[in-house]
Structure 1
Amino acid sequence: MFTERVQSTRAEQKRRTTARITEAAARLFQEHGFHGTTVRQIAAEAGVSVGAVMAAGDKESLLSLVYDQAIAARIPAPPTVESATSAVDYLSRYFDPFIDLFTENEELARAYFRALTRGRPANAALGGLRTLTESNLTTAMVNAGIPHARAGLGAQVMFAGYLGELMLLAAGSTDPEQTADRIRSTAEFITAQGRN
């Protein structure tokens, strides 16, 4: 019983420390950029040791965590069957908050995508985001009358298309308006195919 309480207290303390580190990293990345921020600065800002920061993750992992948390906080709930929101509108607008996030700081967006393309295990939060996003998109399409199997496939295509569009946006190959237009075109195509 005593051991369980100590472990619970340690786990809670670790969670709070990681949250402080992540918040400090987010502030410093915004203020100084990814390359202008050091692990020592993050430790000083969070009031912890460099070792504590490294236990939470290296700089790249912390950036991924910052972005993953920011993205998760912006995920819109799927519309209900009674909602006036069409599947096309929901699917095309679903990603707007994420596009806004990526255009807020292009240097950080590029660094985040470099971290994603390395495919490190620390980026496992992307898998959780994919699962949640595909679930929400599938629900929206099913609520619009698209059979579940087709809706699931459509959600997979939407998520893959979204990642591709964000990579183009982060690389400076497109602008937010073009990105939103292409995502809407993809949503229109997917919902039309889902009903056939």
Structure 2
Amino acid sequence: MFNEPVQVSAGRTSRREDTRRRVRAAAEECFRVTGYRGSAVRDIAAHAGVSVGTVMQFGGKAGLLVAVVDDWIAAIHSDAARAHPEGPARRAGADLAEDVSALLRPFLRRFLGEQELSREYAAVLLSGEHRSEVFSGLADTLRTELLAVLGAHDVVGARADDAVETLYLSYLGLLFTLGGEPHSDPDAELDRALGRLRAVARSLTAGDRDPAAGDRR
């Protein structure tokens, strides 16, 4: 009897979460089929089987686009965590810049593979109307992964912290750049973007490996 209010609250939370998932899935489907600009809130609502007001409660069209793209990014992190439970590892024969490039490649490739939605996502974020997890929780996850890559190459301490922040900001800049205009050759553009990141990594970490590491490599 005393547990009834808790159970009711938990049930409401579960139903709201289920509705949120359905609305996000409906939004992503609409965006893929008719494009972001071709999708109306009423279309998303009909596809999800909810009211227009419910869609607006979850951020409207723009807020849902941010949530959908954030889900893409979170999924890439989850896939990497499953593949490497102990964190990013140093690959045989790869230097630090190549490992940084390998870590960030899936994110950039996804954005280039979804050019129309990436452009709209960048525009929504630049408008300042909606906040993305890419600046908070997902940012912390990526910083941790970058720090692990640097540590695997014996780059440690304050210089590693500074390098992580610069690499993260460089990555964000590339996301907005890639999302800002269409690209006729996404593969070539991806190679150019990763080349810039490798150059940044090499310039930041030259001579910064831990001298105590010796010849552990």
Instruction: Tell me if both proteins adopt one fold, taking TM over 0.5 as the criterion.
Output: yes
Deviations 1:131-162, CA, capped at 9 Å, x for gaps:
11011101221232111322222111111001
Q: Does residue 195 of the first structure (1) align with residue 209 of the second (2)? A: yes
Offset of 1:104 from its aligned partner?
A: 1.6
1:182 and 2:184 matched: no
Matching residue within 60, 63, 66 for 2:65: 63
Matching residue of 2:56: 54
Change (3 A) 1:32 1:193: farther
Q: In structure 1, how many angstroms separate the alpha carbons of the residues matched to 2:113 and 2:88?
A: 27
1:110 maps to amino acid = R
SS at match of 1:59: helix
- Identical-residue share of aligned pairs (%): 31
**Are 1:169 and 2:184 counterparts?**
no
- Residue 140 of structure 2 corresponds to residue 131 of structure 1: yes
Q: Distance in 2 between matches of 1:54 and 1:152?
A: 40
Matched, 1:91 2:100: yes
The structure-2 alpha-carbon separation of the partners of 1:105 and 1:173, relative to structure 1 and needing over 3 Å to count, comes to closer
Letter in 2 for 1:189: S
Unmatched 5+ residue regions in structure 1? none
Distance 1:87 1:51, change over 3 A: same
Kindly provide the amino acid, as one letter, of the partner of residue 105 in structure 2: D
AA matched with 1:107: E
SS in 2 for 1:169: helix
Secondary structure at the residue paired with 1:95?
helix
The count of residues paired between Structure 1 and Structure 2 equals 195
Letter in 1 for 2:128: G
Classify 1:168/1:36 alpha carbon distance in 2 versus 1 (closer, same or farther; 3 Å).
same
- Following superposition, the deviation at residue 100 of structure 1 comes to 1.5
2:168 aligned residue (127, 150, 159): 159
Amino acid at match of 2:23: I
Structure with max Cα Rg? 2
Amino acid at match of 2:25: E
TM-score (norm 2): 0.82
CA-atom RMSD, angstroms? 2.0
Moved more, 160-169 or 181-190: 181-190
| CA distance in structure 1 between the partners assigned to 2:208 and 2:182 by the alignment | 30
Q: Structure 1 length normalisation: TM-score?
A: 0.90
Q: Report if the CA contact (8 A) 2:155-2:208 is conserved.
A: yes
Residue equivalent to 2:84: none
